[in-house]
Amino acid sequence: MASDDEGDFHEEQGPPVVDEANVQEGFRAFFPLAFGKQEKKQVSLESIHSATKRPHDPQPQPLKPQSGKKGWLQDLNPKPPRPPIGPQRPPSNLVELPRSPIGPQRPPSNLVELPRSPIGPQRPPPDSAEPIVGPPRPTYLEESAIGDEEDSDQLVGPPRPPQFSGDDDEEEGHLIGPPRPPPNLEEEGNDGSFEAMTYRREDGTSDEHSDEEGGDIFRVPLSNEIVLKGHTKIVSALAVDHTGSRVLTGSYDYSVRMYDFQGMTSQLRSFRQLEPFEGHQVRSLSWSPTSDRFLCVTGSAQAKIYDRDGLTLGEFVKGDMYLRDLKNTKGHISGLTCGHWHPKEKQMILTSSEDGSLRIWDVNDFKSQKQVVKPKLAKPGRVPVTTCAWGINGKCIAGGVGDGSIQVWNVKSGWGSRPDLYVDKGHEDDITDLKFSSDGNTLLSRSTDATLKVWDLRKMRTPLQAFNDLPNNYAQTNVEFSPDERLIFTGTSIERDSDCGSLLCFYDKQKLELVSRIGVSPTHSVIRCAWHPRLNQVFATTGDKKEGGTHILYDPALSERGALVCVARAPRKISLDDFEAKPVIHNPHALPLFREEPSRKRQREKARKDPIKSQRPDLPVTGPGFGGRVGSTKGSLLTQYLLKEGGLIKETWMEEDPREAILKYADVAAKDPKFIAPAYAQTQPETVFAKSDSDEEDK
């Protein structure tokens, strides 16, 4: 009984269960992980950045003004090209290694050995009798090259890397990842001295190497360039947030475009477009200190506040234009000219207007301003304030007035409209921009009189230096400091009769002299410029009446993020999910029921000229008749013919007096009446006509 039960049990159990997951894992163990996957084509960074390389030498060099030289790019003493991006194998015929204070030092030229490495045992000179302690160091020179005394001053083969890699193949060093950019590139000058260069470390700090004379060359990121397009007119406003991730551009085409480096591909398209006020130019853009909101100033009298994504948070109130005293109005009454956010406080902004006032606003109250500042004027009236600026930490404000004066006010309790610093004739024309230095001692001013002036706030009577020959045709042209405030730079406009393009001019703040001129565009003027401290990239807005763009100058070895991120990102491929059927929209006036009849004026004029359609009568035939028609030589009508030929018909009624013609038949009508008179001849009295009084009247 037990055996039968066991047999039944085995029959019910059936075949063993196989786990498919374990089988798949077993098969997968015999194949690599990348089996069946298509490898993505890797594009090197060198090929990516070579497409955006500027066509001319990007190194800014010291310039000396020359009177006889013209052109939109004036760079003297050209430097050799920059090193390529990515790991590179040194050439086999390398003779000398570049000097560098960081890393292994160059050995004397009379030694055959390679430069000593600080890691591992050191190798003594071959002619030294000093014994070698420890394991011998591998030789990197050929035996034939060592025995040759004539070529003993040359290094054969590539230099050894600073650390041992552990590979058996020791004839070539391999570097993992892109090499660190050279800390300095020193070149021997004509006088034998070495010029110093400023480079940027990985932590963002800069190191300076000065020569005995103290000359410096400034490293400006100018090797590569990209252009943010989209505007149809000049780009008059520019703002880059403090993190360097988003860029705002405003234009004379009444629109604001927003660019995001993290989400933008190599197509360089904006992710949002705004139109703050219809029909008003965008004149100024400014981010808040926390970069969560930005201020938009247009040609209207009301400034707007937007959040980081471009949604409207509110607009400031407009004042009453019928009030004469501007201090009694709750807002500006004319178009705005400039506006800036407070550098420290995220609740305060400053605006200037064509109504001749500056106003400080609180972004939490859009109904009225906090302070109204009226500039000092030589004559009573309303003179526009063309620009404004915050001082260091927002402790003072400055305004450029339309009469050419520069006025500075200290923001303190109980302060009024009387300026603390006043320069009567700062410029001969409108002032387009003012800029304070971080130490609070220097003020820069840019004007449409083609000058850039540097002022010392402690001595404001005369400027420290005035740079001339800087054409400026736009009211939004600005001036900026470099991140370390060692350089001052501004853009120039294109003149009508000049063959010189637009430039970025860099000046030394300490020496107050020209350092370099960089060509930006041969056809478009430069309006706004900026140098972002975190990205280490230079922005310059250009444009004309037909096109506008923002040029971004960067260097792969010096810059960080920003343009480097979006240039290396390829656009996403279009898939089937991206297909969208465009709906057909029928205009009501396009339907036959609502369609207006087209004008048939031309059709009627054409039909009028056609004798068949217009049923025009036949013209008279002159000369002998034809086609069954009788012709006439001197008229088409018989009456005309008779009058012209013999005078058979003569009408005299046109020459006779009507009264005499009627009285001529008076006797006949009295003797022989024929119509109405016979019936009343017996009863009617005799008609007596009154005599004419014309003779009496004449008398």
AA identity, residue 519: G
Question: 531 - beta bridge partners?
Answer: 538
Burial of 483 (0-12, 13-18, 19+ CB in 10 A): middle
The model's confidence at residue 574, banded by pLDDT at 50, 70 and 90, is: confident
Exposure string of 507-519, with b = 16+ CB inside 10 Å and e = fewer, is: bbbeeeebbbbbb
pLDDT given for residue 540 in this prediction? 96
**Residue 445 domain flag:** yes
All residues at 6 or more sequence positions from 237 whose CB lies less than 8 Å from its CB, including other chains = 248, 249, 250, 251, 256, 282, 283, 284, 285, 297, 476, 528, 541
According to the per-residue pLDDT averaged within each range, which of 143-147, 171-175, 348-352 is highest? 348-352
CA distance linking residue 12 with residue 4, whole number of Å? 13
Percent of the chain with pLDDT over 90: 40
pLDDT top residue among 31 and 323: 323
Tokens representing residue 616 in the block = 């025009």
Give the C-alpha separation, 250 to 233, whole Å. Answer: 10
441 and 548, same domain (yes or no): yes
What is the edge-to-edge ordering of all strands in the sheet holding 224-231?
224-231, 548-554, 537-543, 525-532
Residues 411 and 325 in one domain: yes
- What are the C-alpha distances in Å from 687 to residues 539, 666, 672, 684, 690? 114, 12, 16, 8, 10
Indicate whether 557 pLDDT > 60: yes
Give the alpha-carbon dihedral of 595, 596, 602, 606, to 10 degrees: 70
Confirm if 71 and 242 have CB atoms less than 8 A apart. Answer: no
pLDDT surpasses 70 at 228 = yes
pLDDT at 31: 60
248 found inside a domain: yes
pLDDT band at residue 666 using 50, 70 and 90 as cut-offs: confident
Q: Which of 412-426, 552-566, 645-659 has the highest mean pLDDT?
A: 552-566
List the 513-521 sheet strands across, edge first: 479-481, 487-491, 502-508, 513-521
pLDDT 10s digits, 514-532: 999 999 999 999 999 999 9
pLDDT at 373 over 70: yes
Residue 310 CB neighbour total at 10 angstroms:
16
Q: Could you give the CA distance from residue 310 to residue 308 in angstroms, rounded to a whole number?
A: 6
The predicted pLDDT at position 36 comes to 55
Q: How far apart are the first and last CA of the chain?
A: 176
Instruction: Note the residue count of the chain.
Output: 699
**Domain of 478?**
224-571
CA distance 410 to 457: 12
Whether the per-residue pLDDT at 101 is higher than 80: the answer is: no
Identify which has the larger pLDDT, 445 or 9. 445
Domain for residue 272, yes or no?
A: yes
Q: Which residue has the higher pLDDT, 98 or 351?
A: 351
In a domain, 492, yes or no: yes
Q: 681-699, pLDDT tens digit by residue? A: 777 777 676 666 655 555 5
In whole angstroms, give the CA distance from residue 281 to residue 640.
Answer: 76
**What pLDDT, on the 0 to 100 scale, is given for residue 690?**
67
Give the C-alpha separation, 126 to 111, whole Å: 8
pLDDT digits (tens, 9 = 90+) for 38-48: 555 666 777 88
Q: Do 627 and 558 have their domain in common?
A: no
Residue 525 in any domain: the answer is yes
- The full DSSP string for 114-153 is PPPPSSSPPPPPTT--PPPPSSPPPP-S-HHHHH-STTTT
Percent of the chain with pLDDT over 70: 63
415 and 300, same structural domain? Answer: yes
Model confidence over 589-622: pLDDT tens digits? 777 777 777 788 888 899 988 888 888 887 777 7
- Taking each continuous run of H as one helix and of E as one strand, the counts in the chain are 11, 31
Please check whether residues 509 and 644 belong to one and the same domain: no
Using pLDDT thresholds of 50, 70 and 90, give the confidence band for residue 633: low
Q: Which residues of 260-291 are buried (b: 16+ CB within 10 A; e: fewer)?
A: ebeebeeebebeeebebbeebbbbbbbbbeeb
Residues 146-160, mean pLDDT to the nearest whole number: 47
CA atoms of 473 and 493, how far apart (whole Å): 6
The answer on 520 and 444 residing in a single domain is yes
Does residue 215 surpass a pLDDT of 60? no
Nearest to 509 by CA among 238, 223, 211, 218: 218
Bigger pLDDT: 621 vs 542? 542
Question: What is the SS3 string spanning 512-531?
Answer: CEEEEEEEEECCCEEEEEEE
Q: How far apart are CA 376 and CA 421, in angstroms?
A: 11
Same domain membership, residue 237 and residue 331: yes
Asked if 491 and 342 sit in the same domain, the reply is yes
Residue 454's pLDDT band, with cuts at 50, 70 and 90, is very high
312-316, 391-395, 427-431: range with lowest mean pLDDT:
391-395
Is pTM beyond 0.75? Reply is: no
Q: Is residue 408 part of a domain?
A: yes
Choose the most confident range, by mean pLDDT, from 71-75, 308-312, 497-501, 576-580: 308-312
Any domain includes 308: yes
Contact at 8 Å (CB) between 253 and 570?
A: no
Q: What is the pLDDT of residues 276-286, one digit of tens each?
A: 999 999 999 99
Q: For the chain, what is the mean pLDDT?
A: 75
What is the DSSP code string of 2-37? HHHHHHHHHHHH-SPP--HHHHHHHHHTTS-TTTTP
pLDDT of the residue at 112 = 43
Buried b (16+ CB within 10 A) or exposed e, 238-252: bbbbeebbbbbbbbb
**Predicted local confidence at residue 644, as pLDDT:** 65
The whole-number pLDDT of residue 292 equals 94
Inter-residue contact 359 to 369 (CB < 8 Å):
yes
Structure tokens at 54: 């500027």
Q: What pLDDT is recorded for position 539? A: 96
Shared-domain flag, residues 608 and 562: no
| Amino acid identity for residue 204 in this structure | G
CA distance 191 to 194: 9
Domain contains 69: no
Beta bridge partners of 542: 526, 549
Tokens 């990197």 correspond to 140
Q: Does residue 254 sit in the same domain as residue 337?
A: yes
State the DSSP H helix or E strand holding residue 645, giving kind and residue range, or none if neither.
Answer: helix 638-645
Q: In angstroms, rounded to a whole number, what is the distance separating the alpha carbons of residues 220 and 537?
A: 8
Q: How far is CA 73 from CA 56, 502, 504, 551, in A?
A: 9, 9, 10, 16
For residues 425 and 417, the answer to whether their CB atoms sit within 8 Å is no
- pLDDT of 544 over the 80 cut: yes
- Helix intervals (H) in 475-517: none
H or E element: which one contains 605?
Answer: helix 601-609
The pLDDT of residue 415: 81
Q: Give the C-alpha separation, 374 to 303, whole Å.
A: 19
Q: Which two tokens stand for residue 249?
A: 């551009």
pLDDT of 660: 84
Q: What mean pLDDT is predicted for residues 263-276? A: 92
CATH of the domain at 348: 2.130.10.10
Q: Give 655's pLDDT tier (boundaries 50, 70, 90).
A: confident
CA distance 531 to 535: 8
The DSSP symbol for 664 reads: T
- What was the pLDDT predicted at 154? 47
Same domain, yes or no, for 355 and 462? yes
617 and 565 in a single domain? The answer is: no
Structural tokens at position 405: 């004066």
24: left (phi over 0), alpha (psi -120 to 50) or beta: alpha
The rounded distance, in Å, linking the Cα atoms of 487 and 482 is 5
What the block records as the tokens of 520 is: 């930006």
- Taking alpha carbons only, the member of 387, 685, 551 closest to residue 52 is 551
Largest alpha-carbon pair distance within the chain?
182
What is the structure's pLDDT at 648? 58
What is the identity of the amino acid at 522? P
The number of distinct structural domains making up the chain is 2
257 pLDDT tier (thresholds 50, 70, 90): very high
